[in-house]
Structure formats: C-alpha cells, structure tokens
Structure 1
Amino acid sequence: MTMAPSADRERLLVGLMSGTSLDGISVAVVAFGERDGRVYADLRHFAQRAYGDAARARLAAAMHGASAQEYCRLHTDLGTWLGEAARDAMRDAGVSPLEVHAIASHGQTLWHEPGHSTWQIGDAARIAELTGCAVINDFRTRDMAVGGQGAPLVPMADLLLFSHETEWRALQNIGGIGNVTLVPPRMLQQSEPTRAFDTGPGVVVLDGVTQRLFGQPFDRDGAIGASGRILESVLRDRLDLPYLHEAPPKSTGRELFTPAFIDDFIARGRAAGGADADIVATAAAYTAATIAGQYAMWLPVIPADCVVSGGGSRNPFLLHCLDGAFAWHAERTGKTMPAVQHFDALFFDAEAKEAVAFALLGYLHLTGRPGNVPSATGARAPRVLGALTPVAKSVLS
C-alpha cells in the first residue's frame, strides 16, 4: 500500500539504511508530498544489497575495537557501498540524479552511548560523488546535543505516516534491536505525546546464537526455533537484565548485546540441559518476552494493535512466541494486550520501513522541520536533524 502525495508539492528522496543486524543495505526511493496539513509518502522503489561475509565481518569487528586506520578505511569503504547501492536503486527505479532532492543516509552505527555520544560511519562525500546527489547524514548527533538519546528516530515516521485514525497503535520494529513507538490516534495527536524506546534485543541474540550453533546467518522461517523447546529457566534469568527495568526514554544496541552476552546465553542454555535447537528457540522467546514485558511495564496505554516490521517479523516462530507472551501478560494482569499485525498488510514491504523513515527525516531537513520526537528521545527540544553535503555544481550545470 502506498500513500499518494500531492503532485504539486512532491519531492523525491532516497533513504539509505544499514542496521544493527548487519544484513546489508536497504534503499528506498520515496516521493513525499502534503495534503490537508499531512505528509504523505509514495514508495516508488525498494532494494536490498546484502553484505558479503568479509564486509559483515569488518563491520562487526569494528564495533568491538579496531585501529584508527581500519576505522578510517571502513568509513570510506562503507560510503562507497552505500553510494553504489543508491546509484543502482535509482537506475532500477528509472530516476536520474537531477530528479532526486537528496539522499538521506543513516550510515552504520559503530557505537552508541546514551547520554554522551553516538557514531555512524559512511562517508557522505563518497555517496554524493557516486550518485551526483546531495546527501543528508549524521541524523542522531543533533538530538543528543540537546540532551536526547539520539534514538529512536523512526517515531517521526510512525507519527506522520503510520498512525491510526481512531486507535492507539504500537509500531514494533524487530531489527537487530527491538524498538516500539506508541502513537496516539490522529484525533488526539495535538494533546497526547508520542512515546518510543528500545525494547531490548530484536534478532541480535537470536541471529548470534544461530550463527554460533548452526553456522547460518539467521533462523530462516523460524524452522530451527520451531523444532526446539523453550528453556524457561534461562528465559527468566535473562529477564533480570538491568536495561529492561530502566524507565524510558532509553536506547540500547550491540554495546549491550555483545558476543560475550551471546556466549553467556549459550552457556546458560547448555547448563539447563538444552540442545542447540532449544537455545535458538529460547533466544526467539527472549525477544518476544522482552517486547511484551516492556509493553506491560512502560506503556501508559495498551494499544489496539502491535504492527511488526524488521527482519524478525519474517520469523513465524518469533511471532508465535510474541502472541504467547502477550497472552501470558493478558492472563496475568487481566488487561487486553494488542493484536499482532504485519506492517506489510497495512502499508508496504516491512523491510523498507526504516529506509523510508530516514528518507522522511531527509525531507523534513530540506523543509526546515524537526525530525526528532522529544517525548521519545528525551531531548529538551525539537531540532532539524542531519548535516547536508551539497551536490557538486558540475552535476547541476
């Protein structure tokens, strides 16, 4: 489903996303427009470019320490990969650089330290030269400069593009990290704030466990998890993680869910007598339990639905666990928990959502409007996000 913009105010942007799951680069070619005071988005083209094993290994290693030389080279190389992905997607969409108002690139987060700093690499100058387009990047630092967490930033898209007319809605991304946006119905958006925070692991632990135990990048179709049993003692023990008991606004990343965390998860599973498939099943259940638990603990309103996107939304066993976790909380508390829905069924390909969201942040930058939601990030004030690398004059002439 696309949301058609008003043609006379249309701007074409390209969103680039490389997430914590390290699967690859997502590219969305999006037209934005406005009608009756609302922003609309039309997804014209979406593409994904998977990282090769060597690139994925370099990115993963850099998150846990590298030389200045490697950081410098990786920043440049990633800029080249991002630029090539954007260039190819524009070509496949039949879009010329002169039609694109800007490319909005999230880059790749190497370090995120809430309350202090954040670092996304991916040389914007390389992207600009490879594509012939202006580039907006470095979206998170301005929010942090005014006291925000720098994350999550997708809530602006959740608010402007994906909210419900009459019901509260939770938009749950299950990427490498899980994050939720609770958006009020459109009729209440002037009086009720949007709330958002990272719920904990998305697929970072699940993928890590699957890679270690089965040599596969992820549990395709949830087949491994579905063949195992959930180790309840391991699940309960890991739900004592301090992050899960911190009040929002909050954000997390691979800085918490490290290789050592994954090693410990496997060790706990084996100590509990679990087979390898049982440990994968427990990792999927862990993600589901953290999401449902965070809703029960921190959401001031239980929404009517939970709209899932991200790589984890493609795992039927994980979503089965999420249904079960919501049912467990409903029985325990007597509250009605949300119905799980697929983002794809309501809007467009769920894999494109984050790339579309950063394209929107680029659109807001160009139109001089804030991209952060202070009630979600904890920032003292709204701010226009991102830094602009202009298109070369030779391209414009």
Structure 2
Amino acid sequence: MTAHHTVSPRVVVIGGGYSGIYAANHLRLRSDLDITVVNPRPHFVERIRLHQFAAGTHPATVDYGSLLGSGIRLVVDTATRIDTDARRVELRSGDALDYDYLIYAVGSTGAAPASVPGAAKYAYSVAEFESAQRLRDALDALQPEVTPAPPVTVVGGGMTGVETAAELAEAGHRVTLVGGGQLVPNFSRSGRRSVVRSLHRLGVTVLESEVVTEVRPDAVVFADGAVRPSAVTVWAAGFGVPPLAAASGLRTDELGRLLTDETLTSIDDDRIVAAGDCAAPSGAPLRMCCATASQLGPQAADTVLSRLAGDVPARFHYAYGGFCISLGRRAGVLQLARRDDSAVNLYFGGRLGARIKETVCRGTVWGLRQAARRPGFAVAFKGGPRPDVADVPIDRRTGAPR
C-alpha cells in the first residue's frame, strides 16, 4: 500500500511591517499553509514612532514573538530578487525560498531627491530604523544647552516632517521647519491652523512656503539664494519604494510600486499579491500610511486564500476615518475625514489630540497581537470598492486601465 503525502502550499511574505504581519497572520485562517515572513531585521519596527525614537522618547521596536502567530516562520534576511519562473525568492545570504504564492509587502523608504545637491549625502531621514538611529546619534552629539542651541532644520511640510520638528523641539533642540509649500495640505484649514499654533508654542520656526535647493554639511540653501546654518538637517519631504519588484522584471509605477489589479494581484503574475505602501492597484495607489497597511494586508491574504480555494478573489475595499498627528508628547491633532480620505472641517487638537494619537499608536501593536492570537482578526474601517476605478479592468499587456 502506497502512502500519499500532501505538500502544504507555501506562501512567502516579503516584508515584516504592518501590512506583511497582518497578511501573514490572516493567512492562518487556513491551517495547512507553510507561511514564511522575510524581513531584514529581527524585530518589528513601529514606523509611526520613528520620530520619537530619533528624539529619544520611544524605542520604536517590538519583539516579533508576540506579533507572529504560531506556525509562522521568520527568516531574518533581505530579498534581492524574485525568480517568477522558478517561484523562488533569492536572499542576500545566498539562500532561497520556494513559494506557491508570494505576498509583496516591502513597504517604502525615504527618498532624498537627486535634484537637490547634498540632500542624499548630508541630510538625515526618519523613514527607516537605521536612518533614524543615525539621526539620533547626530542629535546626541549636539550640545542643546549651548546658547544659542545648534540649529536643526527639518525639510518637509507633511505629517512626517511636522511630527519630527515638534518632537525634536520638545526635546530641547532649536528647530526650523521648511514646508516647501503648505503644511499638512491634506488637513482642513482649521486643522492646519491648530498644527501651526502648536509648533509655535514649541518654539519651532516655521517657513511654510520656503524651498530648500541645496543641503550642505553645516547649512541649507534656499531658492532665493539665502543660506541658513544647520548643524543637523532632516529630509522628510518624500518617500520611495525598494526596487525589488522592478529588479525582478515586474511592472511598477514611476515610484517603484508594484502594479496590481483591484484584487491586489500583480498584473504580470497571478501568484504575486501586493499590500501596503509598495502596491499600486490599477495604477492609483492609496495613501502611504499605517491605516492603509492594516487594511490591505488582510485583503492581500484573502486574495491568496481565494486563489488556493479555486475561487475568484474579491476586489479590495477600503475606508479612512482621518489623519492623526503628534505634536510632541503633550499635543496632537486628529483631523477627521471622509471615507475617500478628504478632510472635513472638524478636528480634535491639544492634549485630547495627543491622547488620541497615542491610543492609535498603541492600538496598532495591539491589533497585530490580536491577529496573531486570532486568525482573521483585523482592525479596519468598513469601506467599499473605489468608485473611480473598481469597475475598470486592467490591461495586463500595458498595465493601464482599459
């Protein structure tokens, strides 16, 4: 009598951030899967706290032991290439992982533009743990007790730049925030005013419409030619995406995000599903943020589970409730928004805003732990398909909506 051995379907998740961990835990709805998460670090990074880490107010890391459900294997390594023909992920160590399905959740990185001389060489970033560590070391080397304190410049008027400027100012640094246009442009007018008031209370010099055109080791240069001293310059004016997909021959958008259809499946390979910052469904990606990751992670896993079951995957659904920003440890702003991510004229600021923001930050880790304990658990808004693109099929030859 011949014994028959059933091979468990293998799913590799590239990326151990918010989206990747949600996806891996959600896959456990099916008990027979072989699930592997590949991540370059042995610990989970709370990316939404990296500005705190740089200022010395939070460690911004969590042990994976409490975040990954039983049976999920963590491989601490970096994926360097996806061999789509062989269905294999090549790793920097020289090892490789075979897969039946792959969830692409590599996230995003900081990106200093090549058009700004010196930005990549001299400016620091808070986009990743290692870059935030370098910034923290540079700040520790300053002497803020000296009068006047060494000047610190934060370039970028988005949420990352504003949070970083506020955190560093509250830690005692003399901070100038260069907005490059309008601060937090996705906020309502009243919400923006609240943000600016809090920055002023912390002593931040706000240059909302100024533009930095060059970064030097000890200064920044503005579009009008003015030169301001800067002992430490932080670049928080943009994000990029790791080049893994493009390097593997998969089609991406201009930023490097994997092009997918509305089921989050790669337009080149239906064995590859994307989630989080690195996904561009129908060429129209959602906002890069934790709220997006927590929704797309489980939905990417659902697409894989549907395909394994022989079912047609559902188009992804999404919704937002607002934008939450910290302004040091004692103030913050919750800007409410419509489901489509457009702001409404209602916000909560001050100490209440700070408490809400801290609750949100703690809630993200709590949600990941719940998902590790209970497969299928997800913290997400009840949303729907995108009305502008949900019914538009993708041309798999060109990658564009048909």
| Fold similarity call, TM over 0.5 | no
Of structures 1 and 2, the one scoring higher in RCO (CA 8 A, sep 6+) is 1
Which of 1 and 2 has greater Rg?
A: 2
Select the structure that is richer in helix: 1
Relative to the length of structure 1, the TM-score reads 0.30
